[in-house]
Each structure stands twice: as C-alpha cells, then as structure tokens.
Structure 1
Amino acid sequence: MRERIPVVTQHNSRGRRAAARGLWTGAEVVVTLGVVLLLLVVHQLWWTNRQARADARHEVRALQREWAQPEGEKAGEEGNEGQSRGQGGGDGTGGRGGSGPGTSGDRSSAGRTAPTGPRRDQAYAVIRIPRLGLAAPVAQGISKRGVLDKGYVGHYPGTAQPGRTGNFALAGHRNTHGEPFRYINRLRRGDRIDIETRDAVYTYTVDRTLGQTGARDGGVIAAVPRSNVKPYVGYTAAGSYVTLTTCTPEFTSRYRLVVWGRLTDVRAR
C-alpha cells in the first residue's frame, strides 16, 4: 500500500497584505472626507455667522456715528468714506449724505444734482425688530456677495424707500452668514419693525404673513403687495408697506416666507 504524503497549501500572504492596504487606504479616504465635510458645516453654520454678525454690528455702529455728525461735517468726509464703505458699481445715485433715501435731489450751488439715494451695496439704514432682538444694517440691493453674505438686510431695487408710499421690500438670510431673518416666522400681528435712517425712524406694524410661496412670486414685493401664487393673500389698496422675505423651509431655498407690515409712525431724528 502506497503511503500518501500530505500537501500543505500556503495562502498568498502578499495578496492579503495588498487587500489590507486597500482597506486601510479606503478607511483613510472616508475619514478625511468626513473631516472635510465637518469643517465645511462648521464654517457655514458657525464661522460665517460669527463673522457676518460682527461685520453687521460694526456697520450699525458706524451708521449711528455718521448720523450723529452735523450734515456739513458729513459732506466733507463723504469722499473718504466712499472708498472703504458702500463699494460696488455706482448707479448714478449718491451716498448716505444725500437728501434722504428716495427723495428728489436739489441743485447744489455748483449747479450739480445732489445725491438722491444710496449706491448699490451701500448700507444706509438700520432695521430693528424688538421681538427678535434684531438690529442689522439695510443695504441697497440683494446681491449675495455685496449685501446678504455680509449679514446685512438687502433692499429690493425698484421698491419704495422707507416711509414712502409703496412697498419697502427687504430680503435677508435665514441660515448662515449672520441669518438676520432666521426667526421672522415668529413675528405676529401687532409686532413692531423700526427702520432708522439719518433723517427719521419709520415704524411699521406687522399686519400679515405668508408662510410659504414660490421663489418667483414677485407679487409679494409689488407696490401693493399681493401674492401671485396665492392671490387671496395680500393687499388691495395703496399704502406704505414693508415686506420681509427669506427662504423656507430652513436650510433650503425652495420657497419663500413673507411678513408684511404697514407704516404706523414716523419720528424725526
């Protein structure tokens, strides 16, 4: 009888090492991607808010200091101020030292037309909402880089200026970059919205809200605001209105949340 010799089969250790290296590399990539995503989230939800809020507070203080100066001193400093603040393409209008937002300019002694309103991306007013503890600059335009991402509230071009007949329409971020309109969904009928300018404080009283409408619903910022998507919501008569708009639901930009108010008081500064 022939004796059988046992055969020992050795597994390929080189292949196992290669597989282990592959798994380790894959794990490192996954961890790295996770850290990068976490840093992006922290940047968006924490750092942009921190930076924008600081910039907005600084601008509010700067406006208040500017308004405290006599008109003559303000006019003498306007040229220097314009280089560092309110930058952006000019649109043929002047700076904060004009005859007030939305008013017609007068002829100066040199025969030139005086400023008639704020420049694009220029902060020229302050919005205060006591219920929300909000105080933020209002700038001309709604560009992200020049206005909204700085923590400012943006004024829709073509809509009325504070206190004027028509609709003073505003936009602000609900999440990130200072998120000044984060909690406007908490506003209720009778709440106060103050708009401060160099010349006056305009008080609007919250009157109506629209919890959700389409992002292209231009009717909500019309001179007589009324939703095009939900035409039973809004107004039918001319007046002096304020409109606050922001994105909804939170962390999306699919729809718009709208708050409306009527002008109820004007106080000279």
Structure 2
Amino acid sequence: MKLRTLTLDELTIDDERSFRHVALYDDLKQALRRDGYRFRVPEGEASWDRVVFLNLTFWSQSEQGDLIAGDHLAADVVAHVAWHHLAHRALTAAGAGAPPSAEALLLAEAIASAFDLYLVGRLLGHAPSSDFLATQVPAMAEAADAAGLSDAGFEALLESVAGDPERAFEDLRALLFDVTTALVRCDRLSRAAEILAGFDAHRFAPLLHHYELSNWILSTRASGSAPAPDPVARAVDTALRSAPVSLDWLEQRWVRPPAPLPAPAGEPSA
C-alpha cells in the first residue's frame, strides 16, 4: 500500500457545522494546523475495512500520521486525533525520544475517547441531526443494553451527560484510565473479572465495552511498552482529578500554544 500525506487543510471535514458551537473543537483543529500534523492516505483504491484495521491495530505507534481511507474526515475524528497528538507531545517530552509507556498510551486514549462523550453532551439539543450523534448514540445504546441498562436508564444517562458534559468527560476519562491500567498488568482471567466487577457501580460502567478496551490493552502490550507506573502520566491523571474542570486544565496546558517569552530589553519581540 503506497501512501501519501495530507495536511488538515487538504482534507474535507464532514459534519463540521454540527460542531460550530463547541469552541474547544476549533482549538483542537488549530493545534493540528499549528503543529503541521499530516495524515496518511492510500494512493488509489483501498479497502475501508483494511484501512480501519491498520489504523486501529497500530494506534500505539509513535510515528505521526493517522491512516485514513480518503480525503474526507469526520469532525469528531479531527478532535480524537488532536488529543492523541497533544498527549503524545506532552507525555513523552520527558522521555527524550523514548517510546511512550503503556500508561501514557492508555491515558491518551482515555482522554480522546472521553471527549467523544463530551461531544455527545454538547451536541444533544444543539445539533440533534448531526452525523456524529446518528452513529454514536445508537452504538452507545447497544452497549448499554448489552450491559443490562434499560432504555429509560440510558435516556437518563444521556440527560446527565447533556446536563454537565465537562463532568461526564472527567468521570469517563478517570474510569477508562483506572480500568485499563489495572487490566494491562493483569495475567489471569479470574483477576480480570474481579477488576471489571469492581467498577460495576460506576455510572458509566454500562458503556465500558462500547470503547473496545481489549483493543487498547492488546495493542499496548504488543507495542512492548512497559506496564509499570509512569510518573508523568500519573501526575497528569492526578491533576485532572483535582482540577475544578479537567478540560480547562488540558486546554490551558496542552491545547493553547505557549505564550512567547518576553524579548530582552532593547530587542523587538517576536
């Protein structure tokens, strides 16, 4: 498969109008532009299934450039890719080029996936006909139903997400990080079952399998990343749990470009 690379401006972003009221979406988009992020696209015809398989299976690789099927990209995918890019930059900066740890990979995926739920909360009531909701909500409902949540329970869950999307983001992010970091070090089925059962009371437990956590864990293990605690990832996780609004913390430290240093006296500023 021969690949070409395209910048964000060379792609057509689908469903973007549905996100026009979400300021953080545009900030994430601008972060990809600012950093010159490039996407990899097959030359000529390529099976959508194969592209998705390759991108999902090798998502833990550090090389830049998500593999996409063509020159169209969904707006929610732009945000998802941006969070992975920003997390890689922030969580591996101290590693002097070393591959990201298992916990760094899992934290990045927890942030990106929890942001999907945040977007659901922001779009419900504002853009009910969006393509994103048309795909996400039925998939979430299916996972919740399989987990034993009633239709009324799922509706109540969605209402709580729409009522406070920022809180929903952090609650899900913390859950995903806690579950996957515990499971990635687990080598016994019985212990894994105990770990999962320990989170059954969490309000987002019915959505856990919507996020296909087995892919996260297997891909992280296959990357060879050490499953030991990562102090950088753990420090970010602690800061997010302590922040009044964790998305504000991420926006201020990861999304916005750093302010330029003041020029020395007598020299023009940049």
TM-score, length of structure 2 as denominator length: 0.26
Structure that is richer in helix per residue: 2
Q: Which has the larger radius of gyration?
A: 1
